[in-house]
């Protein structure tokens, strides 16, 4: 495999939500030809005609060189693909791509989550549905609107194959979108998935007006849970202390643009989950990932009390005040981040 970036001239972005549209803008700025696949034909039409995506990324002007399509096979003809569907739809999208996608097409996973039905990481889903394709993970602290507006951003591009990683970094990097190379894709995936669950927990604390001390403690102990799960899956702790772990966790638990944080705030203020979701078009991945991360942790013997508490509130009807009281009543322990009980 050559390290010449000239073999990545065209990039297909699969998924025209806010993050997919922002990544299309990034790759266009990097000088690539971009074809953005939208599930909704009206989204593709708006991008082609008006150079904007009012449904998912309003008030952001798009480069006229970004082409959009509702034809998945057409987008799959690019030299490399960025996969950006909601995590729970990745299997369906990759299954539809499989019959026409060339074996050597590099796949970059940009969806953050764990599959609810199977507990699989996104890379494990792709290994089943698109076997043999070279795979990398793009993750890090990113709000789509800021990326689309070309505000400075740093991310992790993680690939087991360092040559593939360098090709991708050189193909999509710009002065304001800085990819840092990693060879730990599992760590990048775990960080991107778990941070959404912790962000919901932070939002609940904000909604309950429990103070900044509690939020800081929760972020720190949430990071400990993230590290334990990552180590159990074979990730490195250093990865989870980087952009795709601590960096993404900090942003998602602090920025008002965070869909997961805002959902948690609404829950903490007493709004029913169904009402919150009914009023949203965009996906808060942590709602689904809370269940799958909790199940994965149980299977691996990893104690994740914060994730389990969020799952209980979201999916088991647990009372928020009683759940918080249960966390606060846990035994005092030594501070540690290694695998095992907290």
User: What's the pLDDT at 342?
Assistant: 54
- pLDDT, greater one: 2 or 43: 43
Query: Which residue among the candidates 49, 112, 195, 233 is catalytic per the annotation?
Result: 195
- How deeply is 33 buried, as exposed, middle or buried, from its count of CB atoms within 10 A (0-12, 13-18, 19+)? middle
Q: Which residues pair with 336 in a beta bridge?
A: none
User: What's the pLDDT at 271?
Assistant: 96
- Please give the domain boundaries of the chain with CATH numbers for all domains: 5-183 (3.40.50.720), 186-328 (1.10.1040.10)
Q: Which residues pair with 153 in a beta bridge?
A: 177
What are the distances in angstroms from CA 78 to CA 16, 209, 228? 16, 49, 37
User: What's the pLDDT at 5?
Assistant: 44
- Cα–Cα distance between 76 and 71 in angstroms, integer? 9
What are the distances in angstroms from CA 154 to CA 169, 181, 295? 11, 11, 31
- Local confidence band at 326 (pLDDT 50, 70, 90 cut-offs): very high
- Find all residues with CB under 8 Å of 319, minimum gap 6, and list them: none
End-to-end Cα distance, the chain? 44
User: What's the pLDDT at 129?
Assistant: 97
User: What's the pLDDT at 156?
Assistant: 98
Mean pLDDT for the chain overall: 94
- pLDDT, greater one: 268 or 4: 268
Opening angle at CA 286, ends 285 and 289, nearest 5 = 90
- CA-closest candidate to residue 253, choices 323, 186, 202, 216: 202
Kindly tell me if the per-residue pLDDT of 200 is higher than 70: yes
Annotation marks residue 49 as catalytic: no
User: What's the pLDDT at 341?
Assistant: 53
- Local confidence band at 3 (pLDDT 50, 70, 90 cut-offs): very low
What are the distances in angstroms from CA 290 to CA 13, 18, 125, 196, 294? 27, 22, 18, 8, 6
Kindly tell me if the per-residue pLDDT of 248 is higher than 70: yes
User: What's the pLDDT at 6?
Assistant: 55
């Amino acid at each position: 495999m050559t390290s010449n970036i000239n073999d990545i001239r065209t990039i297909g972005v699969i998924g025209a939500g806010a993050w997919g549209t922002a990544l299309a803008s990034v790759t266009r700025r990097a000088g690539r030809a971009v074809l953005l696949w939208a599930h909704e034909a009206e989204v593709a039409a708006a991008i082609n005609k008006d150079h904007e995506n009012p449904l998912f990324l309003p008030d952001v002007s798009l480069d006229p060189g970004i082409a959009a399509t509702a034809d998945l096979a057409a987008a799959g003809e690019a030299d490399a693909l960025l996969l950006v569907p909601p995590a729970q739809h990745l299997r369906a999208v990759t299954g539809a791509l499989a019959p026409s996608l060339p074996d050597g097409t590099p796949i970059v996973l940009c969806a953050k989550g764990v599959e609810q039905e199977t507990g699989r990481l996104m890379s494990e889903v792709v290994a089943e549905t698109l076997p043999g394709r070279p795979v990398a993970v793009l993750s890090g602290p990113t709000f789509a609107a800021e990326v689309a507006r070309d505000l400075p951003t740093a991310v992790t591009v993680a690939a087991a194959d360092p040559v593939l990683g360098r090709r991708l970094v050189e193909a999509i990097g710009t002065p304001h979108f800085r990819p840092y190379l990693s060879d730990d894709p599992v760590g990048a995936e775990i960080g991107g998935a778990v941070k959404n669950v912790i962000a919901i927990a932070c939002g609940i604390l904000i909604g309950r007006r429990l103070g900044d001390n509690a939020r800081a403690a929760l972020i720190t102990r949430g990071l400990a849970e993230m590290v334990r799960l990552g180590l159990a899956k074979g990730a490195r702790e250093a990865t989870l202390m980087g952009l795709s772990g601590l960096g993404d966790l900090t942003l998602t638990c602090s920025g008002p643009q965070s869909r997961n944080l805002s959902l948690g705030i609404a829950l903490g203020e007493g709004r029913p989950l169904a009402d919150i979701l009914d009023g949203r078009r965009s996906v808060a991945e942590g709602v689904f990932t809370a269940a799958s991360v909790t199940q994965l942790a149980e299977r691996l013997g990893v104690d994740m009390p914060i994730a389990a508490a969020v799952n209980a509130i979201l999916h088991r009807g647990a009372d928020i005040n009683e759940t918080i009281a249960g966390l606060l009543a846990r035994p005092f322990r030594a501070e540690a981040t290694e695998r095992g009980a907290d």
